[in-house]
Structure 1
Amino acid sequence: MLSIISAVAGGSGTLAISSTLLGPIGVAIVLGLAAFALATWAKKNESSALELWARRSRWGILAKHRQWVAESDFDIAVGALNAAVLGMIAELAVETRFDKYGDTLDTQKGFLVWDGSSIPATSYIVYKISLPGYDAIASRYEWRLKVYRPNEANGQVLASGQSGSPPATTNPPEDPKRVDYFPKTTMPSVFTDETSKSLIVNGAIALHMINSIHAMDLEVYFWPDKNDVSGCARLLLREDKIDTNEKGGSW
């Protein structure tokens, strides 16, 4: 299943200021009313950014969709609402793709049997981030993609980036058991979409046919005005219980 969170932030610092003036109870009431209003309005805009935020809030219509239910989730909920208002988009999925560029042709280690003519297929962790209105001088962003294996609580960063730094591959760890992917495919692509006037960050990380990755998350921070610390929009996508060894599977 493709995970998509689309997002927003006209006055991204408003909620941060309100939290100081209203207190926890006042903020909870404001967010509750906002979620109810957005859920009602979003019926005419199926799967819109604001509808997705309302669905995942503690007031979501279906309990199974709620993600931010504890007091400790407040900052995440506010960051996601800011992102939804702004129109931020983050996508994360596992897809089976043809390896047109020969990224996985590591026959010396026996990961692939290749006849020299056909195009091999393998599983990729595919991600995309869209930051509307990004200004290279006035704005700031940072992101990271992390994967998890059994008995690995902290996870491993496979790809990351931030404003002001050129795209680069991620150095693999020394432990060979944690290199069940192709390190040279961790290089992200960063460019500006002239049509939407958005900064686009995307990539596809090729996995070994046999790997132990069972969960992953993509976290994005975006400050339209880097001098406004409170105006941060944040997206966090989490996927658990995935089977990256299942050919043809997607989620």
Structure 2
Amino acid sequence: ELVGSALAGGANRVLTNRALSVRGVATVKTTVDAGRVLARAGAVISAAAGLFESTQAGVAMNRTWRSGDTTAATGYGFSMVLSSIGTGFSIYAAASTTSALLGPLGIAMVLGFLAYGFYQWAQRKESSPFEQWAKRCYFGHANETPKVHWLRPDQAHIAIAELNAATLGLEAGVNFRLRMTGLSSPDYGGPIAGVSAPVYEQCLEYRLSLPYFDATRSAYRWTLTIHRHGDGPATQYTRGEVVVGGELNPPAITTSASERRAALATSTPPKKPDYRANSTTPRVTIRTVHMTDGSSTQVKDIQGAIVLLLEARHYNIEGATLSLTYWPDREVQEAYAELSMVDFQ
């Protein structure tokens, strides 16, 4: 957008020079037209990116609001509103012939920068794992939706397992999001002829990070379960389909996550697939982290993205649960860390 606007504006100023020859005027006019097309193409891409960013901010706002992080949710809300308004100005700039930076194009750019700033600020205001644990413990506020509050003695092992996860630095996450996969052909689907448009797909992303991992000593077990309409209330699903999972020599003991998995009935599959079966294989890597005392440790990362087929006639996936149990040393069976999280579409 900036290049196109600068190109068109500079060429327009050159046109005011009466000393130009006829050939020079024609060349400069061609430059002006090229600058305007480039600026409009940038506005189209900016509009698509703004729509994507406003959607992502809206998803983050809902997620943080459910987790009780109202300050972060407010920041994401401002980012969503600013991105949406900026998208409107980008669409107007793409549809009009103006390319002035002080017009709708410039307003869209300023709003985009402000939206980005609010998004980054909101990320810093999200609760840390220890803060999240403190909200769920006996003395916590328990302001999440659905509510998680460990009040009974039989929930002590859940609280200890999640505290172990926070102490170790065990990380896991699952979320529904739009992902840009590339650009469409310039001849198809673009708002402006000859200009490509971004192509997006809906996916279910998951990630796990196992610190202090030793393949000869550590153990883990994890599953990702999707829930469809009719699988029970969102606060307590009773059915689900395990789409991907993995384990490494887990001890034969019962944990909270294994109890929930055992109690979960199999979800009724749709007549036609609602996710791409060849996208379920996770990517597994092991990296070395150097500590401040000069020693080093290994971290095992597991991540993936399941592509959802929204165009399926009977698509009705509405939530997903990621559960992880990790033993840094499987010889000490009771010393495990456990996380379980749910995301809604």
The answer for the alignment partner of 2:283 in structure 1 is 189
The answer for the alignment partner of 2:139 in structure 1 is 59
**1:68, 1:77 within 8 Å by CA — same for their partners in 2?**
no
Query: Take 2:133 and 2:159, find their aligned partners in 1: how far apart are those partners?
Result: 8
Aligned residue type for 1:77: A
SS class of match (1:99): strand
How much identity, in percent, do the aligned residues show? Answer: 29
Which residue, out of 131, 141, 159, partners 2:220? 141
Which residue, out of 226, 231, 238, partners 2:342? 238
Query: Take 1:178 and 1:93, find their aligned partners in 2: how far apart are those partners?
Result: 23
In the TM superposition, what whole-angstrom CA distance separates every residue of 1:150-173 from its partner, at most 9, and x where no partner exists? 2223201111011269xxxxxxx9
**2:302 is the alignment partner of 1:223:** no
**2:220, 2:249 within 8 Å by CA — same for their partners in 1?**
no
Query: Take 2:126 and 2:229, find their aligned partners in 1: how far apart are those partners?
Result: 36
**2:169, 2:211 within 8 Å by CA — same for their partners in 1?**
yes
- Higher RCO (CA 8 Å, separation ≥ 6 residues): 1
The answer for the alignment partner of 1:200 in structure 2 is 301
Q: How does 1:4-43 map to 2 (within 5 A)?
A: none
The answer for the alignment partner of 2:200 in structure 1 is 121
Q: For residue 70 of structure 1, report the CA deviation from its aligned partner.
A: 4.4
**2:104 is the alignment partner of 1:47:** no
Q: For residue 238 of structure 1, report the CA deviation from its aligned partner.
A: 1.6
Q: For residue 50 of structure 1, report the CA deviation from its aligned partner.
A: 1.5
**TM-score (ref. length: structure 1):** 0.63
Q: For residue 122 of structure 1, report the CA deviation from its aligned partner.
A: 1.0
Query: Take 1:176 and 1:48, find their aligned partners in 2: how far apart are those partners?
Result: 38
Change (3 A) 1:142 1:176: same
Query: Take 2:246 and 2:158, find their aligned partners in 1: how far apart are those partners?
Result: 20
SS class of match (2:289): coil
In the TM superposition, what whole-angstrom CA distance separates every residue of 1:64-120 from its partner, at most 9, and x where no partner exists? 1351334243322111011111110111111100235xxxxxxxxxxxxx87x8663
Segments of structure 2 that go 5 or more residues without pairing to the other structure are 1-58, 68-124, 183-187, 190-195, 232-237, 251-266, 291-297
**2:285, 2:302 within 8 Å by CA — same for their partners in 1?**
yes
SS class of match (1:63): coil
Query: Take 2:216 and 2:272, find their aligned partners in 1: how far apart are those partners?
Result: 37
Number of aligned residue pairs: give it.
182
Query: Take 2:198 and 2:156, find their aligned partners in 1: how far apart are those partners?
Result: 47
Segments of structure 1 that go 5 or more residues without pairing to the other structure are 6-44, 101-113, 166-172, 244-251
**2:137, 2:150 within 8 Å by CA — same for their partners in 1?**
yes
Q: For residue 226 of structure 1, report the CA deviation from its aligned partner.
A: 0.7
Which residue, out of 248, 251, 254, partners 1:163? 248
SS class of match (1:51): helix
Aligned residue type for 2:241: Q
Q: Report which of the two has the higher share of helix.
A: 2
Query: Take 2:327 and 2:320, find their aligned partners in 1: how far apart are those partners?
Result: 24
